[in-house]
Structure 1
Amino acid sequence: MMKFEFNSSEPIYRQVAEQIEDAVASGGFEEGQQIPSTTEISKEFHINPATVLKGMNIVVAKNLIEKRRGLGMFVQQGARQRILEEKRNSFFEEFVVNLVREARNLDISEDELLELVKRGYKR
């Protein structure tokens, strides 16, 4: 289910792209499945069709969905794995690197940090 934050500083077209990617990553849209059209999304959420198309084009450019002339947009094979890899890389760069840096600043050893992470998983 798509949900848009119209008061967010993030542009709507980027939210469209992220919503589609998130739906593919979570299995909401399966590989080979047709996704809602630009017109369907724009009507359902009262978004300008050009804005929806701009967001969809981002996902097309990443080779996650493909346009099939006269048929619509479909999730490409391997799209879920590519999205998960991208998200894992982003997680590493945005969170893990900073976590390790902060742990070093606090004189937390690697072993202590691993124990803290394990403790976090148990919660």
Structure 2
Amino acid sequence: MSRFNDSQPIFLQIANMIEDDILNGTYSEEDQIISMAQFSSIFQVNPATIVKGIAVLVNDGILYKKRGLGMYVATGAKKMIKDKRRQRFSNELVLKLLEEADKLELTAEDVIEMIKQQKRS
């Protein structure tokens, strides 16, 4: 069974998995991540796909390369990931939630109460 889905390109899913590993403490700031060959072997994905996913994180400043040693988690990476995901959460999920709430004539208080009920259950 594949770890990947069709919701987004595999290289982005790989980048998200690495971000998740940083957020959950698998990798700390300044830790070396596993090699691209190891990623390729673990995920059974073409190495070029791994390189593309890693490049996204390098471009975002989350990972950096130590010449001849490999890829490392940047200082402040966890905060950068949280900030990026909070912004995406607000722009994508919360905005859609509020648009749907408006269609259903729900108040902000109604939505907050629904969230509280879901959190409890």
Same fold (TM over 0.5): yes
Contact 1:4 1:12 in 2 (8 A): no
- d(CA) in 1 for partners of 2:97 and 2:105? 12
Q: Pick from 84, 101, 105: which aligns with 2:103?
A: 105
One-letter identity of the residue aligned with 1:43 = S
Equivalence for 1:32: 30
RMSD: 1.8
Matches within 5 A, 1:84-99: 84-99=82-97
Is residue 2:80 matched to residue 1:82?
A: yes
- d(CA) in 1 for partners of 2:118 and 2:7? 31
SS in 2 for 1:35: coil
| CA apart distance, 1:9 | 5.6
Q: Which runs of 5+ in 1 are unaligned?
A: none
Which stretch of the first structure deviates more once superposed, 100-109 or 86-95?
100-109
SS in 2 for 1:34: coil
- d(CA) in 2 for partners of 1:9 and 1:83? 20
Which stretch of the first structure deviates more once superposed, 31-40 or 105-114?
105-114
1:115–1:70 Cα change, 3 Å: same
Q: Which runs of 5+ in 2 are unaligned?
A: none
Equivalence for 2:54: 56
**Amino-acid identity (%):** 36
TM-score w.r.t. length of structure 2: 0.87
| CA apart distance, 1:89 | 1.1
| CA apart distance, 1:119 | 1.6
TM-score w.r.t. length of structure 1: 0.85
Which stretch of the first structure deviates more once superposed, 85-94 or 103-112?
103-112
Name the count of aligned residue pairs: 120
Contact 1:66 1:76 in 2 (8 A): yes
One-letter identity of the residue aligned with 1:108 = L
- d(CA) in 2 for partners of 1:93 and 1:85? 12
Equivalence for 2:6: 8
Which stretch of the first structure deviates more once superposed, 65-74 or 22-31?
22-31
